[in-house]
Structure 1
Amino acid sequence: MASLINKKLPHICDTVNNTVIYCYLLTTGYSPDARLMPYLELAGFGSAALTRMFDLQYDLISALVECWRPETHTFHLPCGECTVTLEDVALQFGLPIDGYAVTGVSAIAEPAALCYSLLGASPGDAELTYSELKFTWLKANFQHLSDNATEEELVCAARAYIMHIIGGVLMPNSNNNKVHLQYLPLLADLRSVRSYSWGSAALAMLYREL
């Protein structure tokens, strides 16, 4: 049987030229208020909220890039093949891997009204572009909560932090500075958020980027 691996296909390692790839770690940029943790746990994002920055080993990442084969979605190593699985996502992020598919509309009819209803605040035109929220706006409005914050304000802040996790860690865009509003309607009821397979969505995004 012919090998599934076609060495003639373009591969990212062809542009590396034996140099070390320098990467950056995606992060939310701030830690959640302790009062938000019960709501994040309720939504199934409690473990993901504990994700922190760490030192990257650039030489190891460069070596893995050269071993990645897009035809099989696996790393080809001297000891065999390996890849990232749903089990890895579940163990490292604690995200649900069963349930409904994470889907949403690409265009939001009334983005300002949606933000106001679920976040309690709506960004100005300069901060809300093409149905995306800027991380700078999320951080400025929800990082610091008042000592007498109401339950509704805490729920809104929890939704904002989950949006930051989705766009800053799990499913970032190319600029890593915005998150699409299509995920916000899925956070309307925090009790039903864990009914979606967020782990599958994160893994699918990882495979696409690889």
Structure 2
Amino acid sequence: MDCVNGVGYLPSERIMLHLEASRFRLAALIRMIDLKYNLISVLVEWWRPETYTFHLPCGECTITLEDIALQLGFPIDGFAVTSFSILSNLETFYYDLLGHSTDTGEDKLMSLRFTWLKANFEYLPNTATDQYFMCTARVYTMHIIGGVLMPNANKNKVHLTYLPLLQDLYVSISIVGAQ
């Protein structure tokens, strides 16, 4: 049995306030999901691609964007995210948004390891500033996006293409939810 890579810890209440304002609070409560392959196999058998529905013994049903919006509290209206601006100095930009230099390694400007995120942001210093709390909220949101909402084959990293969307958590999250 595999797991979706949830963050594994709940953030402090000050971080939760930022997540609330950015509409990610409910998603932050998802910590670990066990993937049950026998259930997935049954659902695949009941899926009908021609109608985009599940044909269950109790009737026909489908999962809609509205279902996800109701369960996670994401907005589903607004602008779709289709591309990003080209940034001239990625390392400085990421440092400004994260408050730390990114992961070391050959792909340090492409993705972040979840172990790096957790090691640098799980425990907040007593002297943490508002800017540090905002960076931590971005990191927590990145972990939710890459580990739970849109995991890829490499389950221990999140792609940095999402980070520019989190530059202003109070505006950008409604754009992410509108995808």
TM-score range normalised by the length of the shorter chain: 0.7 to 0.9
CA displacement 1:81-118 (0-9 Å, x = unmatched): 21111121112211111112133449865432221011
State the Cα RMSD in Å. 2.4
In the alignment of these two chains, the number of paired residues is 179
Identity of aligned residues (%): 56
Confirm whether residue 71 of structure 1 aligns to residue 62 of structure 2. no
Name the counterpart of 1:156.
135
Q: Distance in 2 between matches of 1:101 and 1:57?
A: 32
Q: Distance in 2 between matches of 1:43 and 1:127?
A: 32
Name the counterpart of 2:16.
37
Confirm whether residue 125 of structure 1 aligns to residue 125 of structure 2. no
CA displacement 1:139-168 (0-9 Å, x = unmatched): 111111111211010001001111111101
Name the counterpart of 2:41.
62
- Structure 2-normalised TM-score? 0.86
Q: Distance in 1 between matches of 2:34 and 2:167?
A: 35
Q: Distance in 2 between matches of 1:160 and 1:127?
A: 20
> Which residue, out of 73, 90, 114, partners 1:135?
114
Report deviation, 1:80: 2.6
Q: Distance in 2 between matches of 1:119 and 1:106?
A: 19
Name the counterpart of 1:192.
171
What is the letter of the counterpart of residue 64 of structure 1? L
CA distance change for structure 1 residues 80 and 44 in 2, over 3 Å: closer, same or farther? same
Flag structure 1 segments of 5+ consecutive residues without an equivalent: 1-21, 202-210
- Structure 1-normalised TM-score? 0.75
